[in-house]
Structure 1
Amino acid sequence: MLFTNAIRYNVFGVLFQISKSRMSTFVSKINRLTGKMEWDFREEDYDYKQEIARSAYADMLHDTERNQLYYKGLEIAISRVREQGRSVHVLDIGTGTGLLSMMAARLGADTVHACEAFKPMADCALKIIQQNGFSDKIKLIPKRSTDLTVGEGLDLPHRCNILVTEVFDTELIGEGGIGTFNHAHRELLEDDCIVVPSVSNMYVQLVTSDLVKRWNQVPDISVKGSRVTSPSEISNCGGAPSLHDLQLDQLPTDTFTVLTQPTQVFRFDFTGKSPLPCDNTSVIECSMLDTGNIDGIFMWWDLEMDPDAKVILSCAPRWSHPTPNNMQWRDHWMQAIYYPYSRLTVSKGEIIKIISKHDEYSLWFDVARESVKDICPEERPICGCMSHITYGRSRMAMLTDTHRNNVYIQTLEKNVTSDTVCLCISDGSLLPLIAARLGCKHIYTVEPNHMCNRTIRDFIKCNQLEDRITVLDKNMEELNLNDLSHKIDLIIGEPVFQSSVLPWDNMCFWYLAQHVIKSSSNQIKILPGKMTIYGCGVNYSDLWKIRADVDVCEGFNLQEFDKIIQMSSLEVDETIEPQPLWEYPCTASGQPVEILSIDFTQNVDQISSINKTMAVNIVGTQPCNGVALWVEFTFEDNLRISTGPTQPIRIGDKIIWDYNCKQGVHLFYNNRKLSTTSENTEIEVYVNFVPSKGDLDFRFHPKW
């Protein structure tokens, strides 16, 4: 629905002013608290602004090592061409802010041509190039490199003899680098050109780890002398085809045991001596360093920034990094875990084959003892059981988290008898099976999502509980308890929902449970009965870089870039964003404070708006550049599930976070400048909660 005239339009009681000069639209979105679809108002360029605000450009520009090594690689390349008595003509593919092009111009390139397909960034780069005085040296072309033309009067007057580009992601080739390099050599570059970087080497390392295994498998759950068994389809499936990207360096070394040395499996030569293959296979034999199951395959890569491989940019984790005491934090290039399709238990000293494959955009891996034929699929495989697609990595691990399951088991033991009829409200939850194993008379579980529905039915069939558990396909709005064969005594949830993004979005359980209760004439107990939001002032070690101003980078003024990021962020960013904080260390600047508590036994419609201001205290001279938030669900007085710290918080110490949950992160504006105080101070946290609308808003005001 598009509007071009100045009108007012009322949707769900909300008035909007529509400007004449800008086209706007209403879009449907799900309210993550209530679970209902609503209309939201969007400016025409909302998607552009969101892409700019969420881009990784700023993170890259704070990557000092990356910037300096690209600079060094360009310096070597330009010197080499000069020594040959030739003019220097540089092509920069995907220039972004124009940084690499300006480096080339400052180093004396005769011509620099930069292409950037994302128009808002191309416009920004043009301004930055002008402000830094390089308009006469750099020609910016707002096109994809594959659309560039070469010849007199065209995009490039002639082929270039130096290519500089950064078209890499965590998987190295996921941004289409293979096609980009091959096309550039075929159409845009001289035969004897120099490429920065010249080569990438990819490494893998086999590990055994209970934690890593839980991200890809659902083992059986022990329930008081009985078991909830995982279907064989899940146990034997290799898992989702996508990589599991994460800050591998933050994985404690005592949570895994390496089975091999880091092993090079691919070498990608970007110099054009031969085309990069769009599909390739590598088979490497390795001797096992220890005994155990091969649960995961760690992967990372490095870049050779010069033709002689003297300048190396490594993305290796600390235990394999060439300079572990001088590592660069980066979020744009992390490491990854892949999961083998063959389940092997190996012995120390045994020789195992690592099979590595890639197509034009993705990677996959397997292991084998003997023949590799038919072990690792020729084409990128898919999840056969569909459960690995239904459940995300952290959700899969959450299903078999011992602490969580012990809380559920103890809660159900206290509240379930052979006469109890239970209704489970959570997406893809194994609670119904646990309740059945504990003797519950009958369990209904609401699974309107097709993928969750299929997976839970597989679990029920595997455990032969079809007569005890009924899967309801209806949405909660369509559910009437009077239509069920049994009267519900207990509503229980983990609660976890696929639509949830922030920890408190799982408050959706409250809305759904209260909706069901309205149609019941008997007393129904709700568990969990309460949700509490906590907040703590923290000092993020590196995470602040993703939102901090760049200002000046390697001597170039990038303030124009800061402006468009700030403007886009103000319009589209939420005050709080989700992050798995176990990957992003922070220290406590004060003790946690209760921000908001919701009683799930109360009727949603009977609670008026909640407006309150809480003080999050900062102790002494502790640095603080943001707030971390999480929730705790209370089942019984001493039975709670937290999405936050797993150990008591100590001021000034690193906070240990749950591996299976994301927390809420608020970063103060321009967090590059850490705030310190000479005496105890505070952060005011303003909360506005309107239960009837499902609106929950936070505002943060540092008092220094």
Structure 2
Amino acid sequence: MLRVISYSKKMSTFVSQVNRITGKMEWCFRDDDYDFKQEIARSSYADMLHDTERNQLYYAGLKVAVAKKRAAGEPVRVLDIGTGTGLLSMMAASLGADSVHACEAFTPMADCAKKIIAENGFAAQIKVIPKRSTDLVIGEDLPERANILVTEVFDTELIGEGAIGTYTHALRELLVKDCIVVPSVGNMYIQLVSSKLVRRWNQLDDLDIDGKTTVTSPLAMKRCGGAPALHDLQLDQLPLEKFTRLTPPKRVFRFDFTGVTPLLEDETSIVTMEMEGSGPVDGIFMWWDLEMDPNAEIILSCAPNWAHPTPRNMQWRDHWMQAIYYPYTHLTVARGEMVKVICKHDEYSLWFDVAKDKENCPEDRPICTCGAHITYSRSRLGMLSDPDRRQTFLQIIKKNIKQDSNVLCISNGSLLPLMVAAGQGTGLVYALETHPMCARVMRDFIAHNNLQDRVTLIDKQVEDVTEADITDKVDVVLGEPIFQTAQLPWDNICFWYLARALDPYLAPRAAILPGNMRLYAVPVEYEHLWKIRADVGICEGFNLQQFDNIIQLNSESVDETVEPHPLWEYPCTASGPGAMLLNVDMTRALADAQDVEETVALSLLRSEPCNGVALWAEFDFGDGHVISTGPREPIRTGHKITWDYYTRQGVHLLYNSRRINCLQSGDDNCHITVSVKFVPQKGDISFKFSPSWS
């Protein structure tokens, strides 16, 4: 998205970037250290330091390790790899370790750790080394090998941050043979499921147009297993009625971080599972747990609630979620049937498949061969198959497109041109595709459905379109609208800019659909999401204020006021009624559009706490046909909001995620003032949030 060139001025760099609203490239100045500041701002690893269970179980695991070495009469020498804030090192020091060496390759964080360690009184016990662990040298960085290793180098896939290589090197080069490592073991579990919703995130359903005509996916896409990458998400938020568990959970990998059993960079595990349900195997759920001590008495589990050992006392996490993997083999199973599950990993990633016998087990890691799975996001694939959304568009087409209408479809990777062309109309259908990969996929769809004579694919940027591309005047301009560059729902107003750039090719009274975009906001209490921006302060008795300061300082420079999140995964409760902030008429000429500034006071119910605002957009096609990126049901104050599964909403978190309760504050007029400014000629929408209690 950014391309840096050599021209500099006043410690700034001239860069080009895509304006997500206009779709055009723009030039702007950015501080030379912008990317550096952004890296620091994101180094909070979301809610990791707010993960109380993680912190406490690491503390407990270290306590066991230190006690074992003390009982053996050994001096306690601890190595902390990837220390971050220095939290785990300070835990070790507070437990009586004789020496602690902490390495941290990210220099700003290493400097921050030194300050935190000094402020907490451990400067004499802990040495911070600003290096990667693989660069450490015994006799230079460490006086001798350590006998306890503590590290947190895990991600949702467990091994995706290089845990195998990190442990293997440390065991070989930096630790004594009888060392204790915290954690000691990682166990990985899977569960097979059948689910229409899960399947839609990986494969497109056939599209029934009128009971007679069907739009189908190219054979290459039907036979393609999808991208060989995890789909990480908060499985706890997936409604239980949306999937059927075909098997109980089963452990498929055991990663021994102690070195007793070597860690393999390439490993295959073929397990046989008995089906307790029937249906197609649409997805493979995965999660893991950690044994924090040598006796496996302290367990840190990342299982979803239905498989968790203590479901009533679960820790919310955003840094370690669960994941879905999609099998490459399309297999339907019956209750009681025995099925082979092929589980593989390399040094950094995992993949899975299913088969009814060992002979059919694939050996090589499959890749996406159709192009769609590496072009579309999981949510976009699901959106394209969503039956409610499809039905709405079919009604829009039936209502607005006549038999001889010439139609111009503007979106990225949309099925709308196929839906229009597959009908009985005689008009021309043009499909403007500004994204090259989407154009490739759409070309395959058009050919597979034999619509080459009905659909003209315009694989160009809008400024390059000529009369040779659009040969007849367009009667209807139609969009979902969805664009690959969009991050926030209202970024898809890019449709307006593209449509109006083609005014010379439109009939005098051409219909623009959607005709309006409305922007909404509602005050909410985020159940857990606030943790990603909240100060840490005191963590397990250690003062981490220096960390808060450095994150806040850099976040102020690079963070947006509103950021995108899929709120169906991050529950929130309405603290008051929602309100419309902005209404943009996209049927008007862009040249006539004036700047708009609107201010709305979002009232808060006195009994309801609040720590942020949620925002979304609706696109109005007329006659009651609306495509919403927001709630799926009417908002009720004091109740959880049910959000769209396929889009991300806008999230504003109150400064330091302060939680206000109007009843407690004594304010009878508690509200959040939201000001929005839209500058159409620049393609800029900005927000300002002002709580009444600030």
Instruction: Pick the TM interval, shorter chain.
Output: over 0.9
Corresponding position of 2:371: 386
1:203 aligns with 2:158: no
The sequence identity of aligned pairs, in percent, is 61
Q: Residue in 2 aligned with 1:560?
A: 546
Equivalent residue number for residue 696 of structure 1: 685
Give the structure 2 partner of residue 406 of structure 1: 391
Aligned residue identity for 2:166: T
Structure 2 partner of 1:472: 458
Superposition map of 1:193-232 within 5 A: 193-225=179-211, 226-232=213-219
Q: CA deviation at 1:557?
A: 0.4
Equivalent residue letter for 1:112: V
CA distance in structure 2 between the partners assigned to 1:637 and 1:610 by the alignment: 26
Structure 2 counterpart of 1:298, which letter? F
* Structure-1 residue corresponding to 2:133: 145
Match of 2:245 in 1: 258
Code of the aligned partner of 1:492: L
Q: Distance in 2 between matches of 1:180 and 1:276?
A: 11
Q: What is the deviation of 1:293?
A: 0.5
* CA distances 1:144-182 after superposition (whole Å, capped 9, x unpaired): 00000101xx00110000000000000000001100000
Task: Note if contact 1:482-1:520 (Cα within 8 Å) is conserved in structure 2.
Answer: no
SS in 1 for 2:647: coil
Confirm or deny that 1:655 pairs with 2:638: no
Offset of residue 505 of structure 1: 0.2
Distance 1:327 1:672 in 2: 23
Q: Is the 8 A contact 1:531 1:598 kept in 2?
A: yes
Given that 1:117 and 1:143 are in contact with CA atoms closer than 8 Å, whether structure 2 keeps it comes out as yes
Secondary structure of the residue aligned to 1:670 is helix
Letter in 2 for 1:350: E
Mean alpha-carbon deviation: is it higher for 396-405 or for 336-345?
396-405
Is this contact kept in 2: 1:303–1:314, CA < 8 A? yes
Moved more, 679-688 or 422-431: 679-688
Give the drift of 1:681: 2.0
- Indicate the SS of the match to 1:54: helix
Report what 1:163 is aligned to.
Answer: 149
1:37 and 2:25 aligned:
yes
SS of the equivalent of 1:471 reads: strand
Distance 1:47 1:485 in 2: 46
Preserved CA contact (<8 Å) 1:208 1:256: yes
Matched, 1:528 2:514: yes
Offset of residue 58 of structure 1: 4.9
Choose the corresponding residue for 2:257, options 266, 270, 292: 270
Letter of the 1:72 partner, please give it: A
Q: Residues 241-640 of structure 1 correspond to what in structure 2 (within 5 A)?
A: 241-373=228-360, 375-378=361-364, 380-440=365-425, 441-481=427-467, 483-520=469-506, 522-640=508-626
1:235 aligns with 2:222: yes
Task: State the 1:37 CA deviation.
Answer: 0.5
Distance 1:361 1:220, change over 3 A: same
CA 1:511–1:58 in 2, change beyond 3 Å: closer, same or farther? closer
CA distance in 2, matches of 1:208, 1:407: 26
CA contact (8 A) 1:285 1:353 kept: yes
Contact 1:219-1:235 within 8 A present in 2 as well: no
Letter in 2 for 1:159: R
Q: Separation in 2 of the partners of 1:304 and 1:612?
A: 54
How far the C-alpha of 1:673 sits from its partner, in A, is 3.9
Per the alignment, residue 108 of structure 2 pairs with 120
> Does residue 168 of structure 2 align to residue 182 of structure 1?
yes
Using the TM superposition, give the Cα deviation of residue 605 of structure 1 relative to its aligned residue in structure 2, in angstroms.
1.8
User: Does the alignment pair 1:131 with 2:119?
Assistant: yes
Equivalent in the alignment of 2:95 = 107
Alignment correspondent of 2:652: 666
Q: What is the rounded CA distance, in whole Å, between the counterparts of 1:377 and 1:659 in structure 2?
A: 34
In structure 2, give the amino acid aligned to 1:630: W
Please list the CA deviations of residues 467-498 of structure 1 after superposition, one character each: whole Å capped at 9, or x if unmatched: 00011111111123575222211110000000
Q: Given the alignment, which residue of 26, 30, 42 partners 1:54?
A: 42
Instruction: Confirm or deny: 8 A CA contact 1:58 1:550 kept in the other structure.
Output: no
Residue 426 of structure 1 aligns to which amino acid in structure 2?
S
Which stretches in structure 2 are left out of the alignment for 5+ residues? Answer: none
RMSD: 1.3
Distance apart, 1:115 and its partner CA: 0.3
**Deviation string for 1:400-438 (max 9, x for gaps)?**
111211111111111222211111100010000000122
Distance 1:36 1:448 in 2: 11
How many correspondences in the alignment? 684
Given that 2:435 and 2:484 are in contact with CA atoms closer than 8 Å, whether structure 1 keeps it comes out as no
The farther-off stretch of 575-584 and 54-63 is: 54-63
How far apart, in 2, do the equivalents of 1:118 and 1:39 lie?
Answer: 30
Deviations 1:154-212 (A, max 9, x none): 00110000000000000000001100000001100000000000000000000000000
Question: What whole-Å deviation, never above 9, does each CA across 1:502-548 have from its counterpart, x for those lacking one?
Answer: 00000000011011014546332110000000000000000000000
SS of 1:489's equivalent? strand
CA distance in 1, matches of 2:272, 2:204: 30
Cα distance between partner residues in 1 of 2:379 and 2:521: 22
**Structure 1 outlier segments of 4+, above 6 Å:** none
Q: How far apart are residue 276 of structure 1 and its match?
A: 0.6
- Per-residue CA shift, 1:549-569, capped at 9, x if unaligned? 000000000000000111111
Equivalent residue runs for 1:673-684 within 5 Å: 673-677=659-663, 678=666, 679-684=668-673
Normalised to the residue count of structure 2, the TM-score between the two structures is 0.97
Kindly report which structure 2 residues correspond to 1:7-18, keeping only aligned pairs within 5 A, or say none: 18=10
Return the offset for 1:676: 3.7
* Partner residue in 2 for 1:14: none
Which stretch of the first structure deviates more once superposed, 292-301 or 670-679? 670-679
- Give per-residue Cα distances to partners, 1:123-162, cap 9 Å, x unaligned: 11111011111110000000000000101xx001100000
CA drift of 1:612 comes to: 1.8
CA distance in 2: counterparts of 1:534 and 1:522, whole angstroms:
32
- Asked if the contact 1:81/1:87 (under 8 Å) is kept, the reply is yes
Native 8 Å contact 2:473 2:505 kept in 1 = no
* 1:372/1:658 CA distance change after superposition, 3 Å: farther
8 Å CA contact retained: 1:355, 1:372: no
AA matched with 2:129: I
Please say if residues 304 and 322 of structure 2, whose CA atoms lie closer than 8 Å, have aligned partners that are also in contact. yes
> Is 1:481–1:488's contact at 8 Å kept on the other side of the alignment?
no
**What's the secondary structure of 1:631's corresponding residue?**
strand
Distance in 1 (CA, whole Å) between partners of 2:44 and 2:289 is 19
- Offset from partner CA, 1:369-389 (integer Å, 9 cap, x none): 01245x3343x3210111111
Quote the Cα distance in structure 1 between the aligned partners of 2:533 and 2:640.
Answer: 21
1:467 and 1:107, CA in 2 relative to 1: closer, same or farther beyond 3 A? same
Q: Aligned with 2:655: secondary structure?
A: coil
Give the letter for the 1:703 counterpart.
S
Cα 1:357–1:372 change in 2 (3 A) is: farther
- Of residues 74-83 and 450-459 in structure 1, the stretch that sits farther from structure 2 once superposed is 450-459
Contact 2:194 2:283 in 1 (8 A): yes
The SS at the match of 1:523 is strand
Q: What code does the residue aligned with 1:687 have?
A: V
